[in-house]
Amino acid sequence: MSVQNKISQQFPTAQIEEKSDRLIVSINAELLREMAVMLYNDKELRFDFMRSLTGMDWGEAGFGVVYHLESTEDIKRQLELKVVIPDRENPFIDTVSDLWKTALLNEREVYDYFGVIFIGHPDMRRLYLRSEWKGFPLRKDYVRAEGLDMTNEEPDDSTVTWYRDKNGVPRSRRYNLFESGEYVVNIGPQHPATHGVLRFRVSLEGEFLKKLDVHCGYIHRGVEKLCESMTYQQTISLTDRLDYLSSLQNRHALCMCVEKAMGLELSDRIQYIRTIMDELQRINSHLLFFATFCMDLGALTSFFYGFRDREKILDILEETTGGRLTMHYNVIGGVEEDIHPNFVKRVKELLAYLPYALEEYRKVFTENIIAKNRLIGVGHLSREDAISFGATGPTGRGSNWACDVRKRIPYGVYDKVDFKEIVRSECDSYARYLIRMDEIKESMRIIETLIDNIPEGNYREKTKAVIRVPEGSYYTAVEASRGEFGVYLESRGDKSPYRLKFRSTGLPLIAGIDTISRGEKIADLIAIGASLDYVVPDIDR
């Protein structure tokens, strides 16, 4: 039985719309729980991977939550579940965080943005903003209270959870995350080894980690809300600043989303250039990973090696794009400028040089016995957990989950090149490290195949000065340096998006960090965090 028939049989009131790439199902909030359980458990459906979870403010119609689901068994099974919560005064909805663990943090995000309360969620605190914050910023009628709160945050370990009493009325209950007498240590937000401003509170049993509570929001810049008041051409500039080590790929995702929505055809030249640029960016990011990863483990020399070689790529990128970090290269309808005349030559020089560098890394670090002892078997993440948390990218592939968007849903010219998806089954920090090192080689192979065959053609297609995207909702994803970066766009046909959500690559990673690091030593938390390689502004957005 097809997915569509199955759903309409069980839920006659659900509205189903079939799109070329996915099924869109709209239901009311009461049905969610039942539907979610079926989608997750049914053997023929088995939607076990939640790609993205988005909160919505649909004005008169109420609030909403949009779930993007996929089945890891069959990539063709794609579903967009739209749930409406009509009551604006008391927006309640059931949690699905017990089925898909990625919802644990994502539902908190929706609460933080819209004030929607998830019944049954174990921990309904705000995710990004301070607990004293007034109002819910992504509501359409939100007005910010004046002033800047300069008081220090009070440590508060209590949290709230909601349940339904006998009559079905929602009730709340407070409880403490840490028991009294537990030894709790604070790490961050200003800490040299947390890779930016992330904050952990960990409870310790001797040297071992019992529980970890992660705090985000120290670099929450409100990008999604900003986008709602910008034209499409303006929104793309912000994507560079989310995960700045995937700036080209992020921008690729948003441009692709808008182009697809408008039905814009791109020349082959554009696709080739974008693909090569994405791969250069990936190498760049993985080199930086190598540098910082080793530094976190105390190998400072490697830091200099990584940065030394990264500069070579930056030179190439700078020549064409003019930027080193925020490159602003992709635009809607193509790329900003054609590639520099030196580009091909210099990329080839780079490809000839990199193998020596990689060999050096191998000698210095990969084969280093100290590094091995600290990494092998440390930070175990099982395949089921990786899928449940939605931990994509090298982290997911280190846990034996083939989750590469380039293979799953090819874009650019990835379907035309031959490359291997590196997958390992050790599930530990060392596997995650090795995968990135091998991915550099695969990226080099991709570039090698493409660099001599860049076809002639436009580097930029003509678009109107004012871009209006036809009404509807669109989801597009690319494989950024750290996993699936998705863009969910809902348009009402205006000059600016009605809602633009970025599927963060890092949020699922830190959602899983409690599971990964429990029972490990506190010193290994740094190694684990470094091996996940999250970028905090991308988590907080």
Partner 1 sequence: MEVGKTKKKELVKIKSIPYKDFKNNDYLEEMVRELHENGVNVVVGALDEAINWGRGNSLWPLTFATSCCGIEFMSVGAARYDMARFGLEVARASPRQADFIMVAGTITDKMAPVLKRLYDQMADPKYVIAVGGCTISGGPFKHSYHVVKGIDQILPVDVFIPGCPPRPEAMLYGMMQLQRKVKLQRFFGDVNKKEVSEKEYEERMKRDMTANS
Q: Which is nearer to ligand SF4, 26 or 326 (CB)?
A: 326
Query: Which residues neighbour 469 within 8 Å (Cβ) at sequence distance 6 or greater?
Result: 232, 258, 261, 262, 489, 491, 493, 497
Q: Which is nearer to ligand SF4, 45 or 197 (CB)?
A: 197
One of 43, 166, 190, 418 touching partner 1 (CB under 8 A): 190
CB atoms within 10 A of CB 61: 12
Least Cβ distance, residue 325 to partner 1 (angstroms): 5
58: contact with partner 1 by CB under 8 A:
no
Q: Which among partner 1, ligand SF4, none contacts residue 151 (Cβ within 5 to 8 A by kind)?
A: partner 1
Query: Which residues neighbour 93 within 8 Å (Cβ) at sequence distance 6 or greater?
Result: 29, 32, 65, 83, 85, 116, 117, 118, 119
**Interactions with ligand SF4, residue window 218-247 (CB under 6 A):** 241
Q: Residue 473's beta-bridge partner residues?
A: 490
Q: Which is nearer to partner 1, 324 or 460 (CB)?
A: 324
One of 19, 76, 140, 144 touching partner 1 (CB under 8 A): 144
Least Cβ distance, residue 196 to partner 1 (angstroms): 6
186: contact with partner 1 by CB under 8 A:
yes
Q: Which among partner 1, ligand SF4, none contacts residue 128 (Cβ within 5 to 8 A by kind)?
A: partner 1
One of 304, 353, 367, 402 touching partner 1 (CB under 8 A): 304
Q: Which is nearer to partner 1, 21 or 156 (CB)?
A: 156
Residue 422 DSSP code: P
Considering CB under 8 A, how many residues would be counted as binding partner 1? 48
First to last CA, the chain: 40
Can you tell me the distance from the alpha carbon of 49 to that of 387, in angstroms, rounded to the nearest whole number? 6
Q: Which is nearer to ligand SF4, 3 or 198 (CB)?
A: 198
Considering CB under 6 A, how many residues would be counted as binding ligand SF4? 2
Q: Are strands 117-119 and 92-94 parallel, antiparallel or unpaired?
A: parallel
226: contact with partner 1 by CB under 8 A:
yes
User: Where is 66: in which H helix or E strand?
Assistant: strand 63-70
Question: What's the chain's length in residues?
Answer: 541
Location of structure tokens 């065959």: 453
Q: Which stretch binds partner 1 (CB under 8 A): 124-132, 159-167, 273-281, 448-456?
A: 124-132
Query: Which residues neighbour 152 within 8 Å (Cβ) at sequence distance 6 or greater?
Result: none
266: contact with partner 1 by CB under 8 A:
no
Q: Which is nearer to ligand SF4, 219 or 522 (CB)?
A: 219
Q: Which among ligand SF4, partner 1, none contacts residue 311 (Cβ within 5 to 8 A by kind)?
A: partner 1
252 contacts 486 by C-beta, under 8 angstroms:
no
Q: Which is nearer to partner 1, 150 or 465 (CB)?
A: 150
Q: Residue 171's beta-bridge partner residues?
A: 163
Residue 517 half-sphere exposure, CB side, CA atoms within 13 Å?
31
Can you tell me the distance from the alpha carbon of 303 to that of 295, in angstroms, rounded to the nearest whole number? 6
Can you tell me the distance from the alpha carbon of 61 to that of 290, in angstroms, rounded to the nearest whole number? 49
User: Where is 52: in which H helix or E strand?
Assistant: strand 49-57
**Interactions with partner 1, residue window 310-369 (CB under 8 A):** 311, 324-326
> Where do the H-state alpha helices sit in 243-382?
247-262, 268-296, 300-321, 343-361, 369-375
Q: What is the CA radius of gyration of the chain?
A: 23
Q: Which stretch binds partner 1 (CB under 8 A): 116-124, 127-135, 338-346, 401-409?
A: 127-135
One of 24, 129, 177, 454 touching partner 1 (CB under 8 A): 129
One of 137, 390, 396, 398 touching partner 1 (CB under 8 A): 137
CB atoms within 10 A of CB 103: 26
Q: Which is nearer to partner 1, 98 or 336 (CB)?
A: 336
Q: What are phi and psi of 96, to 5 degrees?
A: -120, 15
Q: Which is nearer to partner 1, 238 or 509 (CB)?
A: 238
One of 4, 28, 326, 449 touching ligand SF4 (CB under 6 A): 326
Residue 447 DSSP code: H
Q: Which among ligand SF4, partner 1, none contacts residue 5 (Cβ within 5 to 8 A by kind)?
A: none
Least Cβ distance, residue 481 to partner 1 (angstroms): 13
Q: Which among partner 1, ligand SF4, none contacts residue 11 (Cβ within 5 to 8 A by kind)?
A: none
One of 11, 58, 208, 244 touching partner 1 (CB under 8 A): 244
What is the sign, positive or negative, of the torsion defined by CA atoms of 21, 477, 272, 491?
positive
In three-state form (DSSP H/G/I as H, E/B as E, the rest C), the secondary structure along 137-195 is: CCCCCCCCCCCCCCCCCCCCCEEEEEEECCCCCEEEEEEECCCCCCEEEEECCCCCCCC
221: contact with partner 1 by CB under 8 A:
yes
328: contact with ligand SF4 by CB under 6 A:
no
Location of structure tokens 């790929």: 249
Q: Which is nearer to ligand SF4, 241 or 328 (CB)?
A: 241
Least Cβ distance, residue 540 to ligand SF4 (angstroms): 13
128: contact with partner 1 by CB under 8 A:
yes
Least Cβ distance, residue 483 to ligand SF4 (angstroms): 21
Q: Residues interacting with partner 1, by CB under 8 A?
A: 128-130, 137, 142, 144, 148-155, 186, 189-192, 196-197, 217-223, 225-226, 229, 237-238, 241, 244-245, 288, 291, 303-304, 307-308, 311, 324-326, 536-537
Q: Residues interacting with ligand SF4, by CB under 6 A?
A: 241, 326
